[in-house]
Amino acid sequence: MTKKQEAVLGFSAQPDVQDALAHWRRWLESERNVSPHTLTAYIGDVAGFLEFLTGYQGRPPSMNDLGSLKPADFRAWLSRLAGDGLINASRARALAAVRNLFRWMDRSGRLHNAAIGTLSTPKVKRPVPRPLTEVDADRLLETAETDPDEPWIGKRDRALFTLLYGCGLRISEALGLARKDAPLGDVLRVTGKGRKERIVPVLPAVTEAVRAYMDACPFNQGPDAPLFVGVRGGPLNPAIAQRQMQHLRRLMGLPETATPHALRHSFATHLLADGGDLRAIQDLLGHASLSTTQRYTDVETEQLMAVYRAAHPRAKTKE
């Protein structure tokens, strides 16, 4: 194992393990197309696992050591994570990273260890999405345009937030669009997680907001230039959009959950409330699993129960 490889991976291990990890990392990047955030998290979780094994066994593990691990060894690692204060969600993510590595090593013929398949994933209660109300979403779009000192920046912010709310895009997807990809027609082709493409319909309100922004934008650097730009004409930094949303929610008295991603939640929740089909919403959002989309039914149930508790005579507490 070279010093360069060790520096890239961020930790030391036996040479045969380091070689396997270097190939696994390249596979995640080139074939799985995982995001930089996911890649960093996976590498960090696997590093923690190997560090645990080094202390647990008294030496850095080799490939033979990894292949001979028993269920009790993996459980000891998970117990250590719990003892260190990691919540269920963090332990589940760590286990997913290590499972991914072992499955890849199995498929690539490097080793086989069935023990990891016997482990139960820590139960994780996924948070219910917190969408904006329809009224607040409309107010936010209007305020986004009128608040900035520079009119074109206001039109940019309105166009961006209208795109997130009107098409259900992730902010990374919206900021990844080039001018030639601008949603000025009936549909928009979106490249989402894992470089998977999907097609979403474009509402007239989205087209109008984007066209108004493009007409007002002082920068026109050609069809391949980013659609959304900053004050100097470069690609708009996601942190700028986050900061502008933070300013708007304070200005409007909205909760901390009012983020750019909440506009995507609002898109899905409002479609579902108006009778949208769950599988169709799954396709529009680009969710790989229907269970991810089903979280929005929890929002509907929660809102329904809130109305029930507020209005039904039997639900009111007698004083």
Q: What is the pLDDT of residues 32-44, one digit of tens each?
A: 877 788 888 899 9
Amino acid at 200: V
Overall residue count recorded for the chain in this entry: 319
Q: Which of 68, 70, 3, 7 is nearest to 43 (CA)?
A: 7
Mean pLDDT of the chain: 79
How open is the CA angle 25-195-217, to the nearest 5 degrees? Answer: 120
pLDDT at position 12: 61
The answer to whether 3-118 and 134-309 have equal CATH topology is no
CA distance 151 to 211: 14
pTM score, two decimals?
0.55
What phi and psi values does residue 309 have, to the nearest 5 degrees?
A: -65, -30
Give residue limits of the domains in the chain: 3-118, 134-309
Poorest-pLDDT segment among 201-205, 239-243, 304-308 = 304-308
Q: How confident is the model at residue 23 (pLDDT cuts 50, 70, 90)?
A: very high
Q: What is the pLDDT of residues 66-88, one digit of tens each?
A: 999 999 999 999 999 999 988 88
Q: According to the model, what pLDDT value does residue 107 have?
A: 92
**What average pLDDT does range 5-13 have in this prediction?**
52
Known catalytic residues are 170, 193, 261, 264, 287, 296
Give the CATH number of domain 134-309. Answer: 1.10.443.10
The pLDDT tens digits of the residues spanning 240-279 come to 999 998 898 888 888 787 888 788 777 777 665 555 544 5
* pLDDT tens-digit map of 124-178: 666 555 677 778 888 888 888 887 778 999 999 999 998 888 888 888 889 999 9
User: With contact defined as beta carbons under 8 Å apart, do 278 and 294 qualify?
Assistant: yes
Distance CA 9, CA 26 (A): 11
Fold adopted by 3-118: DNA polymerase; domain 1 (1.10.150)
Ranges of H-type helices in 34-191: 36-57, 63-67, 71-83, 88-107, 134-146, 151-167, 171-175
Torsion of CA 170, 171, 172, 178, to 10 degrees: 110
DSSP 218: S
